[in-house]
Amino acid sequence: MEEKLLTNLFEIKDSFTIDVYLEHDGYKAVEKAFQEMNPESILAEVKNANLRGRGGAGFPAGVKWGFVPKDVDKPKYLCVNADEGEPGTIKDRYIMTHDPHLLLEGIIIASYCVGINTAYIYIRGEYENVALRLEKAIAEANAKGYLGKNILNSGFDCQIYVHRGAGAYICGEETALLESLEGKRGNPRLKPPFPALVGLFQSPTVINNIETLSNVPKIILNGADWFVQTGLPKDGGTRIFGISGMVQKPGIYEMPVGTSLKDIIFKVAGGMKDGKKLKAVIPGGMSAPILTADEVDITMDFDSLAEAKSMLGSAAIIVIDENTPILDVLKKITKFYSHESCGQCTPCRIGTNWINKTVQRIAEGQGKIEDIDNIIRLASNILGKTLCPMGDAAAMPILSIVNKFRQEIESYIGN
């Protein structure tokens, strides 16, 4: 049985309470970090583990922490990205619901490493019940002295606050998250400057995903080498794969990085639902370019999927069956991005809406054959031209579907 690094407590009753957590080596990593290590050795450990971000971009967490300047006379901040808006993604909700203290431990260690005294968990507004559970866990951690002033007599203060979002997918983008945390519209910022230098409230800021931070305690306890042994050499550890759509057993499954997509769909998730045949798979959340049924013999890691011109993203797998018209899939995608565009920059604001209108028109039977090339042209004019990555997140799946399923889409035109 493969070792579960993140989900090992999920099935235990009351796993979210600090008492149960403490019974299972809870907060031992914090104790080790504060009593046997120092910020430099913690950073070295996380860097050596090559812990890659699990929010979507895959940027190594250790490198990110290292970007924050050491001596500044401004307070530093940690923002924990719990916005989880990428369609298909469900994993962070599970961590926060079933093992919030694992997350808190990761936050405390990260904060100690970078010299951060205030951390905000930016949680999407819809996850209100999860936010309440987090707040309870934070209160428990405070009561036991793992948060607050002078943690474990180290002289180091740290506090975590939960900040609720209010319904905007774009706030999962790190600079839009910062804007939203500052009480403004979720408009992504121009980079440079980068958040590590100018982030929240003009101060150096680290932004990490829930799952990324949840990996930190065990890396500290067991060491970087142990982490790298699971998964792949350049891409260690496990991923909590979320799988949904036309499979027998949708849900979350923690597996090593590099697990075969085919295995996840047909072995772990029980194969296709109701005996349907596989048509396509979105491997990493809606922003990941689609894979046809012939392309699912691939390992789930950053490099393999990038080579296949898709992406691992948030490791959220959506399985589509042959009875689903690809136009329906495309419709949902274009509607989503057009709805979630913040509206700041021209290509995304107008382009996503234009493409959506065209696709809806095709779906209503009013399509023209030129529409398909037009969609490709418009999506190409969005790709790489926008202020933030959401433009690419919109353009890439649209292009992949129109290119790979062109014949099927053409069949809807002229009917």
Partner 1 sequence: MVKIFIDEKPLEVEEGITVFSAAEQAGIEIPHFCYHPAFAPEGTCRMCLIEIEGVPKLELACAEVVRDGMKVSTNNAKVVEARKGVLEFLLADHPMDCPICDQAGDCKLQDYYEQYGMLESQFSEVKEKRDKKRKIGQKLIHDQERCVLCRRCVRFTREVTKTQELGVFERGVHAEINILEDLPVDNKYSGNLAQICPVGAITDLDFRFQTRSWFLKSGDSICPLCSRGCSISVDSHRGFYRFKVPKRVYRIRSRRNDDVNGFWICDIGRYGYGYINENRLGQILSKNDRNEAINWEKALNMLSEKMKKVHPMDRTSGAVLIINPWLTNEELFLIKKFLIENQEFKNVYLIDIPDGEGDDFLITTERSPNKRGLQELGVKTKSLSSDKLPEKIKLVLAFSPPNIDAEGLASVKAVFDLAETKILFTSHENDLSNTADMVFPTAVIAEKEGSLINIDGVLQKFSPALEALGDSRPEWQILIELAKEIDTNYKYYNQFSSPEAILQEMRKEISDFGKKSD
Partner 2 sequence: MSLEFSDKIKKEVLDIIARYPEKKAALLPVLHVAQQEFGFIGEDTERMVAGLLDIKPVQVREVVTFYTMYNRQPVGKYHIQVCSNLTCSLLGAESLIDYLKKKFNIGLGETTEDKKFTISTVECLGACEQAPCMMVNFDYYGDLDEGKIDKILDNLK
Q: Catalog residues that contact partner 2 under the rule CB under 8 A.
A: 75, 84-90, 92-93, 120, 124-129, 161, 163-169, 180-186, 201, 242-246, 250-252, 282, 286, 316, 318, 320-321, 324, 328-329, 332-333, 336, 339-340, 342
Q: Tell me the per-residue interface mask from 190 to 229 with partner 1, x by CB under 8 A, - otherwise.
A: x---------------------------------------
* Interatomic CA distance for residues 49 and 83, integer angstroms: 25
Q: Which does 161 bind (CB under 5 to 8 A by kind): partner 2, partner 1, none?
A: partner 2
Q: Of the two residues 234 and 357, which places its CB atom closer to partner 1 in the complex? A: 357
* Interatomic CA distance for residues 64 and 297, integer angstroms: 32
For residue 328, the minimal CB distance to partner 2 (Å) is 7
* Interatomic CA distance for residues 258 and 241, integer angstroms: 11
Would strands 159-164 and 118-123 be described as parallel, antiparallel, or unpaired? parallel
* Interatomic CA distance for residues 19 and 27, integer angstroms: 11
DSSP state, 269?
T
- Judged by CB under 8 A, the number of residues near partner 1 is 33
Helix, strand, coil percentages (3-state) for the chain, rounded to 5, are: 45, 15, 40
* Interatomic CA distance for residues 104 and 111, integer angstroms: 10
Contact 124, 83 (CB under 8 A): yes
State both tokens at 298: 């691939």
For residue 29, the minimal CB distance to partner 2 (Å) is 26
Q: Which does 347 bind (CB under 5 to 8 A by kind): partner 2, partner 1, none?
A: partner 1
Contact 362, 401 (CB under 8 A): no
> Of 213-221, 321-329, 368-376, 407-415, which segment contacts partner 1 by CB under 8 A?
368-376
Q: Tell me the per-residue interface mask from 315 to 354 with partner 1, x by CB under 8 A, - otherwise.
A: -----------------------xxxxxxxxxx-xxxxxx
How are strands ordered across the β-sheet holding 238-245? 251-256, 238-245, 316-321, 278-282, 291-292
For residue 353, the minimal CB distance to partner 1 (Å) is 4
For residue 124, the minimal CB distance to partner 1 (Å) is 16
Q: Of the two residues 102 and 320, which places its CB atom closer to partner 2 in the complex? A: 320
Contact 53, 209 (CB under 8 A): yes
Task: Give the residues lining the site for partner 1 (CB under 8 A).
Answer: 168, 185, 190, 338-347, 349-354, 357-358, 361, 368, 370-371, 374, 377, 380-381, 384-387
